[in-house]
Amino acid sequence: MKRMLLLTTSVLLASCANRGGDIDGVQSFQHEGGDHQEGRIAYAARPPAGGAHHPTWQNCGVYDQPIYDEYAVHSLEHGAVWVSYQRNLPAAQLETLKQLVDGRTSTLLSPHDAQTAPVIITAWNKQLAVQDAADQRLKRFLEMYEQSKEAPERGASCSGAYSGTV
């Protein structure tokens, strides 16, 4: 009886340990928060996953035009997740992305002209590129990193600021 109990406990612990594990393909970066700069910023990665950014954040929401990286990065610093896509993404996939962010208060959705993958999801210091909007890793990423502890100003506002587009 003792062996059976021990085996059950081990399986249960292993199952719990895997539930919140890493998401395959997520890239990690090392950016510090709080570096506010006016004007355009040359980012090494586009879309960027952190770093210097505009003093004003981008209002969270759905945009049908590209947004400025500098404002979006400030929103990431506040704990937002940015879902960006190539403009030629099929309409059905765009609808899937809209459903993904629907009802969430700390997300951005916009096209991005400089990205190389059809869909990229970004949080502060984390990013995942996928080929299809139906990829289940997008939902896991959003659940894991929206208002993540890694965001330097987690919980700060994602509204009441800038809502312009490029």
45-81 pLDDT, tens digit per residue, is 999 999 999 999 999 999 999 999 999 999 999 999 9
In a domain, 16, yes or no: no
Provide the CATH number for the domain around residue 77: 3.40.30
> Do 36 and 56 touch, CB atoms closer than 8 A?
no
The backbone torsions φ and ψ at residue 11, rounded to the nearest 5 degrees and listed phi first, read -65, -40
For residue range 127-136, list pLDDT tens digits in order: 999 999 999 9
In a domain, 9, yes or no: no
- Per-residue model confidence (pLDDT) at position 145: 98
pLDDT of residue 6 exceeding 90, the answer is no
In a domain, 112, yes or no: yes
> Do 27 and 116 touch, CB atoms closer than 8 A?
no
pTM given for the model: 0.87
In a domain, 136, yes or no: yes
- Per-residue model confidence (pLDDT) at position 17: 32
In a domain, 51, yes or no: yes
Number of domains in the chain: 1
DSSP state of 36: B
Q: Which residues contact 94 (CB under 8 A, 6 or more apart)?
A: 85, 133
C-alpha to C-alpha distance for 150 and 160, rounded to whole angstroms: 23
- Per-residue model confidence (pLDDT) at position 2: 41
For residue range 69-125, list pLDDT tens digits in order: 999 999 999 999 999 999 999 999 999 999 999 999 999 999 999 999 999 999 999
In a domain, 49, yes or no: yes
Both tokens of residue 7?
């085996």
Which domain does 45 fall in, by range? 25-145
- Per-residue model confidence (pLDDT) at position 21: 65
pLDDT of residue 20 exceeding 60, the answer is no
pLDDT of residue 155 exceeding 80, the answer is yes
In a domain, 8, yes or no: no
How many Cα neighbours within 13 Å face the side chain of 107?
Answer: 24
> Do 127 and 27 touch, CB atoms closer than 8 A?
yes
> Do 155 and 132 touch, CB atoms closer than 8 A?
no
Percent of the chain residues topping a pLDDT of 70: 87
Residue bearing tokens 């509204």: 159
In a domain, 151, yes or no: no
- Per-residue model confidence (pLDDT) at position 18: 33
